[in-house]
Amino acid sequence: MVDEGMHYEGNCIRPPSEAYSILLQVTVGCSHNKCTFCGTYKDVRFRIKDDSIILSDILFASKYMKGQNRVFLMDGDSLIIPQKRLIWILDRIKEHLPWVKRVGAYANTKSLEMKSSKDLKELRQNGLKILYLGIESGDEETLKRIRKGTTGQNLIDMGRKAKEAGMKLSVTVLLGIAGREGSLEHARATGALLSAMDPNYVGALTVMLIPGTVLYEEYHHGKFQLPGERELLQELREMIAHTNLTRGLFFSNHASNYLPVKARLPKGKQEALDLIDSALQGEVALRPEWTRAL
Binding site for ligand SF4 (CB under 6 A): 30, 32-35, 38, 40-41, 76, 108, 134
Q: For residue 12, give the nearest of 218, 21, 3, 4 by alpha carbon.
A: 21
Provide the minimum distance between the beta carbon of 14 and ligand SF4 in the complex, in angstroms, as a whole number: 12
Provide the minimum distance between the beta carbon of 151 and ligand SF4 in the complex, in angstroms, as a whole number: 15
Distance, CA of 240 to CA of 229 (rounded, Å): 17
Provide the minimum distance between the beta carbon of 205 and ligand SF4 in the complex, in angstroms, as a whole number: 11
Q: DSSP strand E in 121-271: where?
A: 128-136, 168-175, 201-206, 248-251, 262-265
250 three-class SS: strand
Q: Which is nearer to ligand SF4, 37 or 250 (CB)?
A: 37
Q: Which is nearer to ligand SF4, 75 or 198 (CB)?
A: 75
Q: Which is nearer to ligand SF4, 18 or 238 (CB)?
A: 18
Q: Which is nearer to ligand SF4, 76 or 138 (CB)?
A: 76
Cβ(280)–Cβ(290) under 8 Å?
A: no
Helix, strand, coil % over all residues of the chain, rounded to 5 = 40, 15, 40
Provide the minimum distance between the beta carbon of 203 and ligand SF4 in the complex, in angstroms, as a whole number: 13
Distance, CA of 158 to CA of 248 (rounded, Å): 18
Q: Which is nearer to ligand SF4, 32 or 237 (CB)?
A: 32
Neighbour-count burial of 220, counting CB atoms closer than 10 A to its CB (0-12 exposed, 13-18 middle, 19+ buried): exposed
Provide the minimum distance between the beta carbon of 41 and ligand SF4 in the complex, in angstroms, as a whole number: 6
